[in-house]
C-alpha cells in the first residue's frame, strides 16, 4: 500500500518516549481496569505511531506493533486493530473519503477499530445493515469490540440482505451503547473489548465487496499484525522470567534449561516474522498459508515462554502479580481468539491430498 500524503511516521526519540510512557503506566492501568487507556494511546498518537500503517514496509510496522505490545499488551491490541482498519480504509475508501481520512490520520484525530465478532445466543441479534432516514445505519450487536469508547470509527462486519456480510465503516461516536459489564476477562483488561449495541449508528461508507473482511491479502496481513502483538507480549513475559531466573542466588542447570528454551522460542518468533516480512510487500504473493503457519508457530512459541517460566519459577510471580502474571493473562486470552487448530488442519489436509497419487 502506498499513499501520496502519508500520515506522520513515528521516528527517533519521540516514539521511544511514548513507549516508555506506555510501559510505565501498564501495571497501574491493569490493576485499575478503569476504561480506555487514553493516556497511553494519546502518547502514541503524539509520536505519530497511529499513522504508521500508511508508510510502506510491513517489517517496520510489525516491529512497531510488537514494541507497543511489549510496553502494554492491551494498548498493543487497540493499536493492532487501528492499523488493521487503517489499511483497509486507505485501500478501499472512495477518493473523497480516503482523502479526508488521510487528513484526519495525519492530524492524529482518527482512531479506528475492527469489530468482526458476532454475539453468542442470548447476547443479542447480530449487527446488520438497514436503511435509515439519511442513509444506511447499523443495528444489532457485536462483541469483542476492542477500543470501544475510545475509537471514533469502526469497520464492522455486518449482515446484508443476502449472501456474505459486508464491511461497514461506521461512525461509532453516535448511536452506540457500550456494555462494559460483558467483558470480564482477566487478560487484556484495558483493551476495552466490550459488547456494543448499535442503535442506528450511521454508516460512513460500505467498503469493498460482500465478504470483504476475509479478502486477501488484507486478512492475512491483519492476522500477521496480530501475531506481532502476541510476540510483543511474549517478549515482555520472557524478559520478566529471565530477570527473575538471573536474580536467583545460585541459578542451577534447570534454570539454564528454562532460559535456553525461552530464548529459542523468541528466536523462532523472530525468524517467522522476518520470513513473512520478506514477502509481505509482494502483491503477487499469497500470504494465506504463510499467515496460518506463522500464527501457529508464534502461538506455540508464546506457549513455550509461559510454560518454561511457570515450570522454572513456580507460583510466586503469579501470586505476587507483575509483568509475568499480566502477560500470561493477556496471552492466554488473546491466543484463543484466532482458533488456529481448524486452519492448521485444513492446511495439512490440502497437503495430504496433494500427495495422493
Q: Give the model confidence (pLDDT) of 8-56 as tens digits.
A: 444 445 899 999 999 999 999 999 988 999 999 999 999 988 886 555 5
- Say which residues have a Cβ less than 8 Å from residue 133's Cβ, sequence separation at least 6: none
The reported pTM is 0.92
Regarding predicted confidence, which is higher, 10 or 156?
Answer: 156
Q: What is the pLDDT of residue 33?
A: 82
Task: Tell me which residue has cell 502483491.
Answer: 283
pLDDT value, residue 1: 32
Q: Which residue has the cell 499513522?
A: 51
Q: Are strands 128-132 and 153-158 parallel, antiparallel or unpaired?
A: unpaired
The residues, ordered by sequence, that sit 6+ positions from 266 with a Cβ below 8 Å of its Cβ are 234, 235, 238, 301, 305
Residues whose CB is less than 8 angstroms from the CB of residue 255 and which lie 6 or more positions away in sequence, other chains included: 245, 248, 312
Cell of 134: 439519511
Which residues are 273's β-sheet partners?
Answer: none
Alpha helices in the chain (DSSP H): 12-32, 38-46, 58-71, 73-92, 95-106, 218-246, 253-280, 288-313, 316-320, 323-336, 340-355
The pLDDT of 318-339, averaged and rounded, is: 93
pLDDT digits (tens, 9 = 90+) for 294-323: 999 999 999 999 999 999 999 999 998 999
Q: Are 27 and 40 in contact (CB under 8 A)?
A: no
Which position has the higher pLDDT, 221 or 9? Answer: 221
- Percentage of the residues of the chain whose pLDDT score is greater than 90: 78
247 burial type by CB count under 10 A (0-12 exposed, 13-18 middle, 19+ buried): exposed
As to burial, measured by CB atoms within 10 angstroms (0-12 exposed, 13-18 middle, 19+ buried), residue 249 is exposed
Dihedral over Cα of 194, 197, 201, 206: its sign: positive
Contact 6, 54 (CB under 8 A): yes
Strands 135-145 and 176-179 turn out to be unpaired
Average pLDDT of the chain to the nearest whole number = 91
Q: In which region does residue 242 sit, left (phi positive, over 0), alpha (psi from -120 to 50) or beta (all else)?
A: alpha
- Measure the CA–CA gap between 146 and 190, rounded to whole angstroms: 9
- The mean pLDDT value for 158-181 works out to 89
Find cell 473523497 and name the residue: 96
Strands 153-158 and 112-115: parallel
Residue 181 confidence (pLDDT) above 60: yes
Say whether pLDDT at 154 is over 60.
yes
In the block, residue with C-alpha cell 482477566: 186
User: What was the pLDDT predicted at 36?
Assistant: 96
Place of cell 461509532: 172
Instruction: Give pLDDT, residue 52.
Output: 67
Give per-residue pLDDT as tens, 69-92: 999 999 999 999 999 999 999 999
Q: Is the pLDDT of residue 6 over 70?
A: no
What is the pLDDT, as a whole number, of residue 249?
Answer: 87
Q: Which domains does the chain have, with CATH numbers?
A: 12-111 (1.10.540.10), 113-212 (2.40.110.10), 216-355 (1.20.140.10)
Query: Taking the CB of residue 180, how many other CB atoms lie within 10 A of it?
Result: 13
Give the cell for residue 209.
465487496
Residue 5 pLDDT exceeds 60: no
What the block records as the C-alpha cell of 300 is: 506455540
For cell 494465506, name the residue.
288
Q: What is the pLDDT of residues 226-282, one digit of tens each?
A: 999 999 999 999 999 999 999 998 889 999 999 999 999 999 999 999 999 998 878
Where is pLDDT greater, at 51 or 193?
A: 193
- Within 10 angstroms of residue 21's Cβ, the number of other Cβ atoms is 18
Amino acid at each position: 500500500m502506498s499513499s501520496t500524503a502519508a500520515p506522520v511516521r513515528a521516528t527517533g526519540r519521540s516514539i521511544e518516549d511514548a513507549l516508555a510512557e506506555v510501559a510505565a503506566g501498564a501495571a497501574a492501568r491493569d490493576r485499575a481496569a478503569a476504561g480506555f487507556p487514553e493516556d497511553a494511546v494519546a502518547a502514541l498518537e503524539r509520536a505519530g505511531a497511529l499513522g504508521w500503517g500508511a508508510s510502506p514496509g510491513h517489517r517496520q510496522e510489525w516491529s512497531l506493533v510488537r514494541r507497543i505490545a511489549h510496553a502494554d499488551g492491551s494498548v498493543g491490541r487497540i493499536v493492532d486493530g487501528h492499523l488493521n482498519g487503517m489499511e483497509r480504509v486507505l485501500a478501499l475508501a472512495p477518493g473523497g473519503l480516503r482523502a479526508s481520512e488521510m487528513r484526519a490520520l495525519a492530524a492524529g484525530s482518527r482512531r479506528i477499530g475492527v469489530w468482526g465478532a458476532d454475539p453468542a445466543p442470548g447476547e443479542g441479534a447480530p449487527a446488520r445493515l438497514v436503511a435509515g432516514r439519511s442513509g444506511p445505519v447499523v443495528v444489532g450487536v457485536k462483541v469483542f469490540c476492542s477500543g470501544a469508547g475510545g475509537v471514533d470509527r469502526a469497520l464492522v462486519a455486518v449482515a446484508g440482505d443476502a449472501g456474505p456480510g459486508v464491511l461497514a465503516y461506521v461512525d461509532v461516536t453516535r448511536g452506540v451503547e457500550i456494555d462494559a459489564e460483558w467483558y470480564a476477562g482477566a487478560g487484556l483488561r484495558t483493551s476495552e473489548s466490550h459488547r456494543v449495541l448499535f442503535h442506528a449508528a450511521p454508516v460512513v461508507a460500505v467498503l469493498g465487496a460482500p465478504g470483504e473482511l476475509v479478502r486477501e491479502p488484507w486478512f492475512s496481513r491483519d492476522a500477521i499484525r496480530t501475531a506481532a502483538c502476541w510476540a510483543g507480549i511474549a517478549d515482555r513475559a520472557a524478559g520478566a522470567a529471565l530477570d527473575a531466573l538471573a536474580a536467583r542466588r545460585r541459578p542451577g542447570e534447570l534454570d539454564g534449561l528454562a532460559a535456553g528454551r525461552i530464548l529459542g522460542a523468541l528466536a523462532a518468533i523472530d525468524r517467522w516474522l522476518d520470513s513473512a516480512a520478506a514477502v509481505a510487500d509482494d502483491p503477487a504473493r499469497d500470504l494465506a498459508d504463510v499467515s496460518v503457519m506463522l500464527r501457529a508457530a508464534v502461538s506455540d512459541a508464546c506457549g513455550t515462554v509461559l510454560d518454561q517460566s511457570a515450570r522454572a519459577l513456580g507460583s510466586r510471580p503469579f501470586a505476587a502479580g507483575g509483568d509475568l502474571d499480566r502477560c500470561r493473562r493477556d496471552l492466554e486470552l488473546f491466543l484463543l481468539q484466532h482458533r488456529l487448530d481448524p486452519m492448521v488442519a485444513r492446511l495439512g489436509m490440502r497437503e495430504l491430498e496433494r500427495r495422493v497419487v
